């Protein structure tokens, strides 16, 4: 038992001695700091700027690539947004056109309630440019109930009458045409006269005596004679009166109530054809053909 204890003590002493020597050896170890040679200095001076340049170029290239990708993505997003904006603007334009058309149709239908005639709504789809818009074409014809000699109006006033009909279309001789003579009367004085088309979207009021008290600004309405137009439809307004040095009548200029340059929808008044007043328009139709 005594021998075992002495052996253990010996091992412990030996271990402590080895550890002490190892620590002492590490503490006494010296690291020699060698001065760089001329070759090492030359290589370092030459390579270091290149390495710095490569690092800077790499950083710049990386930044450029990131910016390029950002620009490409932004450009794609801009193109998508532009297309969306264009589509939205187109939709807004279409909605605005529908809104305006609804307003026109509401005014037209509201005005038509005051008329006792049967009515057919039609759209203007063409005009005779050779006649300075004096003849317009509608998208409704015989199949839709359009009749020869049917008056054509809008909520603003008189347009003309149907002088030619096919199955699906009809042509209207407007009051701008000199061959379309409208019996009218001055709303204020009840003076009767005839309105004829002249030029430049204007008409003339004829057969008004020099002593009649008509004035600029007087409104004209249909007189209801002649068997074509109902009484009381707005025709136009007197804009100029000239008294010639000779003759018994006045020279009167009239602006139509209807803006023919912006005409889009009309009402065609249909019903039994008038017994009279067919001779002149029929002759007119032959001349137009």
pLDDT digits (tens, 9 = 90+) for 14-71: 666 666 656 556 555 554 556 666 666 666 666 766 666 666 666 777 777 777 777 8
Residue 1 has pLDDT above 50, yes or no: no
Phi, psi of 269 (to 5 degrees): -90, 120
Residue 257 has pLDDT above 90, yes or no: yes
The more confidently predicted of residues 103 and 172 is 172
Phi, psi of 255 (to 5 degrees): -100, 125
Q: Is the dihedral of CA 254, 260, 262, 265 positive or negative?
A: positive
Structure tokens at 270: 């249909």
Please, which pLDDT band fits residue 12 given cuts at 50, 70 and 90? confident
Do 105 and 119 touch, CB atoms closer than 8 A?
Answer: no
Instruction: Tell me what the mean pLDDT of segment 223-248 comes to.
Output: 88
* d(C-alpha 137, C-alpha 125), whole Å: 6
The more confidently predicted of residues 280 and 247 is 247
pLDDT of residue 19: 65
* d(C-alpha 114, C-alpha 116), whole Å: 7
Q: Which domains does the chain have, with CATH numbers?
A: 118-288 (2.40.10.340)
Please, which pLDDT band fits residue 221 given cuts at 50, 70 and 90? very high
* d(C-alpha 169, C-alpha 141), whole Å: 4
Instruction: Tell me what the mean pLDDT of segment 217-233 comes to.
Output: 91
The closest alpha carbon to 257, from 160, 138, 126, 125, belongs to 160
CB proximity list for 168: less than 8 A, separation 6 or greater: 139, 140, 141, 142, 143, 144
pLDDT of residue 162: 95
Q: What is the pTM of this model?
A: 0.60
Q: Which residues pair with 194 in a beta bridge?
A: 183, 206
């Amino acid at each position: 038992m005594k021998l075992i204890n002495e052996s253990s003590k010996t091992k412990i002493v030996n271990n402590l001695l080895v550890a002490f020597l190892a620590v002492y050896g590490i503490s006494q170890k010296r690291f020699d700091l060698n001065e760089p040679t001329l070759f090492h200095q030359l290589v370092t001076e030459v390579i270091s700027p290149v390495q710095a340049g490569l690092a800077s170029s790499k950083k710049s290239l990386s930044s450029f690539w990131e910016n390029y990708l950002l620009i490409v993505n932004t450009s794609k997003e801009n193109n998508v947004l532009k297309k969306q904006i264009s589509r939205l603007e187109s939709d807004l334009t279409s909605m605005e056109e529908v809104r305006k058309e609804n307003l026109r149709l509401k005014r037209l239908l509201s005005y038509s309630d005051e008329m006792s005639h049967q009515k057919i709504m039609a759209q203007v789809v063409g005009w005779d440019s050779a006649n300075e818009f004096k003849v317009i074409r509608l998208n409704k014809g015989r199949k839709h109930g359009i009749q020869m000699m049917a008056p054509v109006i809008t909520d603003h006033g008189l347009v003309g009458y149907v002088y030619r009909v096919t199955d699906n279309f009809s042509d209207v001789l407007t009051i701008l045409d000199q061959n379309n003579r409208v019996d009218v009367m001055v709303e204020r004085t009840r003076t009767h006269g005839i309105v004829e088309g002249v030029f430049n979207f204007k008409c003339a009021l004829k057969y008004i005596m020099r002593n009649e008290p008509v004035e600029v600004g007087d409104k004209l309405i249909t007189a209801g004679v002649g068997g074509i137009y109902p009484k009381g439809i707005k025709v136009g307004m007197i804009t100029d009166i000239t008294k010639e040095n000779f003759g018994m009548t006045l020279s009167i200029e009239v602006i139509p109530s209807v803006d023919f340059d912006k005409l889009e929808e009309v009402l065609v008044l249909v019903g039994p054809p008038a017994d009279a007043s067919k001779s002149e328009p029929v002759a007119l139709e032959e001349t137009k053909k």
